[in-house]
Amino acid sequence: GARLLICSEIGSEGRNFQFASELVLFDLPFNCDLIEQRIGRLDRIGQKRDINIHIPVFADHATAQWAGVLDSVLDAFSHPNPTAQPLLLKYEQDIRQWLEQGATPNELAEAIRAEQAEMKAAFEAGRDRLLELHSCPPKAREHARDMSITHIEDEGELNDFVELFADAFGLEVNDLDSDCILIAPGDHMLVPDLPHLPEDGFMATTNRDVALSRDDVQFLSWEHPFIDQALELITSGPAGNAAVGYIENHEYKTGDCLIQLQFTARCPAPRALQIERFLPTNAMHLTMTPRGDLKVNEPELGEFVLPLKRGTARGLVEQKEAQIRPLISKLEKMGMGQLDKMIERAQNKATAAYDARKQRLASLAKTNPSISESVIAGVELEGERVSEALSRAQLTLDSVRLVFCG
């Protein structure tokens, strides 16, 4: 390849020259940031060698003195130095006079070096504080590595969800090949229209590589508009809000029934406030055992609950209806009575989070002038808006499940 690359200031903008390690600066502008930018064209990811900087100057000339000031006083060549440009602007007139006179005022040089040391110490203190807050501990790093994109995008789980949703709401899902499916409206859909489901359907895959290689196939993930709409339809609509099952190997009598109620929190607020950080949508889970014991937010029975045939389930519910209805009403009232405590816990959590955020900004503002009082005031105002929104939260009975003991 070429042995020599000659580049203008404009020509180097946005370019990466990490393949070169010898840098010749034909001039030295009176701007430390611009000099650092020039060096940064070579000092990129992929640079494997030390960068040697060559500066042609005239002997006993202002250019030689300016190069000396940049090197020994402002320290602009050995490493990125955020203090160089602010000091140059502050002492610009003194430095220009210094270069015009051709003298070497040691007092000025020492003053600049001393102030530079103080500024570097302040920068380092602020940087250490920031790193302490945002560095990734080894255990968290290992957990993040385990929770890779492949793990999060659980293809089997998403495919199962699509099939169950299609079966419940009357959609058609046909396998086109081992990786692609066709999702289309069925003849007996429970909902008249799904905005993200075209009349002719659409081809989809949960395999990212297949989606990237084919323009006619959509990549199906939990963030896909169709899946998002399906989840919204399930959680907000009447379908699926009642279920009946049974369990074996239990401690209760055959024919006994556990009643489970799921409550959803509704908190009208702008999405930007991210209220779910403090008050999750799935707010509370109540279970009443056949003995009358009440369990709040305890682990669900999960995979231990087995399905019942429709006729069997209807017969059991009709047989126990007179006993079950009053208990459900009682549980619903008990759940609603927990709202004030939930709001209080959510507001305490929000207050702690925003207080910590304000303290962090106040600490950083001591070494970072870009963090103004208005920024901290904005965080405080946001915290007040979150607290006000939480005070308007409401609980809604979302679903009921009856679990009979077999």
Domain contains 71: yes
Same domain, 178 and 92: no
Residue that finishes a domain, picked among 106, 134, 162: 134
Could you tell me the CA-to-CA distances from 257 to 237, 320, 401 in Å, in that order?
A: 26, 9, 10
Domain contains 104: yes
Quick check: 80 and 71 in contact, CB under 8 A? no
Same domain, 399 and 282: yes
Same domain, 246 and 342: yes
Same domain, 49 and 109: yes
Residues 6+ apart with CB under 8 A from 25: 35, 38, 53, 54, 55
Structural domain including 200 reads 153-236
Same domain, 104 and 161: no
Quick check: 172 and 185 in contact, CB under 8 A? yes
The CATH number assigned to the domain holding 231 equals: 3.30.360.80
Q: In Å, how far from its chain's centre is CA 333?
A: 36
Same domain, 389 and 259: yes
* Ordered per-residue pLDDT tens for the chain, 406 residues: 568 888 887 766 777 888 888 888 888 888 888 888 888 888 888 888 888 889 888 887 888 888 888 888 888 888 888 888 888 888 888 888 888 876 666 788 888 888 888 888 887 776 555 555 556 666 666 666 555 555 555 667 888 889 988 888 888 999 888 789 999 988 888 787 788 888 888 999 988 888 888 888 999 998 899 998 888 888 777 777 888 888 887 778 888 888 888 888 888 888 888 898 898 877 678 888 877 777 777 666 666 788 888 888 888 888 888 888 888 888 888 888 888 888 999 999 999 999 999 999 988 888 888 888 888 899 999 999 999 999 999 888 888 888 888 7
Domain contains 354: yes
Same domain, 276 and 389: yes
Same domain, 54 and 87: yes
User: Which ranges of 105-194 does DSSP label H, i.e. alpha helix?
Assistant: 106-134, 138-146, 149-152, 155-169
User: Which ranges of 246-338 does DSSP label H, i.e. alpha helix?
Assistant: 310-336
How many domains, in total, are found in the chain? 3
Same domain, 33 and 114: yes
| Bridge partner residues of 174 (DSSP) | 182
Q: Match 């998002």 to its residue by tokens.
A: 228
Domain contains 144: no
Domain contains 15: no
Same domain, 258 and 220: no
Same domain, 255 and 369: yes
Q: Match 């402002």 to its residue by tokens.
A: 74
What is d(CA 2, CA 198) in angstroms, rounded to the nearest whole number?
A: 55
Picking from 38, 16, 40, 12, the residue whose alpha carbon sits closest to that of residue 27 is: 38
pTM for the structure as a whole = 0.49
